[in-house]
């Protein structure tokens, strides 16, 4: 197996702009829209949280239930997986960023952790209450993040391989394609060669 990719990293990098446009389009333009969070289990027992914006939560629940069932998962009850996630301030930096210098500045700024990834990108984690200050100081010191947001991050990860990894990648892709879905969070790590096929 080659490298592993956390789904959160993939979906944030590749889908951030699309989700931002969806969120902006949904703000204030369509009265009656409600934010709803759904939770479920993917193949191999992976935890999945989905934030949606809809005027018909029952219809969205049905669409999500069908997507999970198609790929060997199931929609869960409220609270079934959310306890596995923490709200964090997250700033990402592309491969080639000076990790040592970034770590020094980030920790001086009050960041909680600096996490290098297998692809040599770097994540800086901060308490959500300190997020704006940490991000501003990093930017001021020459480390403007590629992305910066308060998001959900799994406390532990689950590595999938083979058919489970393929089914999970398909499930996550199908969830992202639903119009009402704003964000998808999972604790899964999928091999790069599986993700490359999707």
Report the CATH number that the domain containing residue 101 is assigned in CATH: 3.30.70.980
Does one domain contain both 9 and 90?
Answer: no
Tokens for 67? 């997507």
Sign of the alpha-carbon torsion through 59, 17, 122, 190: positive
Taking alpha carbons only, the member of 117, 65, 128, 66 closest to residue 94 is 117
Given this model, what pLDDT does residue 105 score?
95
Query: Average pLDDT for consecutive 10-residue bins of the chain (198 residues)?
Result: 44 45 50 88 94 92 96 94 93 93 94 89 94 95 94 90 92 92 92 79
Domain, as residue range, for 29: 4-83+155-189
Token pair, residue 177, equals 């394609």
**Percent of the chain residues topping a pLDDT of 70:** 84
Torsion of CA 101, 125, 40, 20, to 10 degrees: -80
89 within 8 A of 150, measured Cβ to Cβ: yes
How high is the pLDDT of residue 6? 52
Helix (H) or strand (E) holding 4: strand 4-6
Model pLDDT, residue 192: 80
What is the per-residue pLDDT for 119?
82
Domain shared by 48 and 132, yes or no = no
Task: Mark whether 130 and 146 lie in a shared domain.
Answer: yes
pLDDT at 165: 92
How many domains is the chain built from?
2
């Amino acid at each position: 197996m080659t490298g592993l990719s956390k789904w959160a990293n993939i979906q944030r990098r590749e889908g951030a702009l699309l989700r931002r446009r969806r969120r902006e389009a949904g703000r204030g333009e369509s009265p009656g829209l409600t934010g709803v969070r759904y939770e479920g289990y993917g193949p191999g027992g992976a935890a999945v949280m989905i934030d949606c914006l809809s005027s018909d939560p029952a219809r969205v629940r049905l669409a999500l239930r069908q997507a999970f069932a198609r790929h060997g998962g199931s929609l869960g009850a409220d609270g079934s997986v959310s306890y596995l996630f923490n709200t964090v301030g997250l700033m990402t930096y592309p491969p080639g960023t000076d990790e040592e210098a970034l770590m020094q500045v980030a920790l001086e700024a009050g960041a909680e952790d600096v996490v290098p990834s297998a692809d040599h990108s770097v994540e800086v984690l901060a308490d959500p209450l300190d997020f704006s200050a940490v991000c501003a100081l990093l930017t001021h010191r020459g480390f403007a993040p590629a992305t910066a947001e308060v998001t959900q991050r799994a406390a532990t990860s689950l590595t999938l391989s083979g058919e489970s990894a393929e089914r999970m990648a398909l499930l996550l892709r199908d969830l992202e394609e639903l119009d009402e879905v704003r964000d998808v969070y999972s604790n899964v790590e999928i091999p790069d060669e599986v993700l490359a096929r999707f």
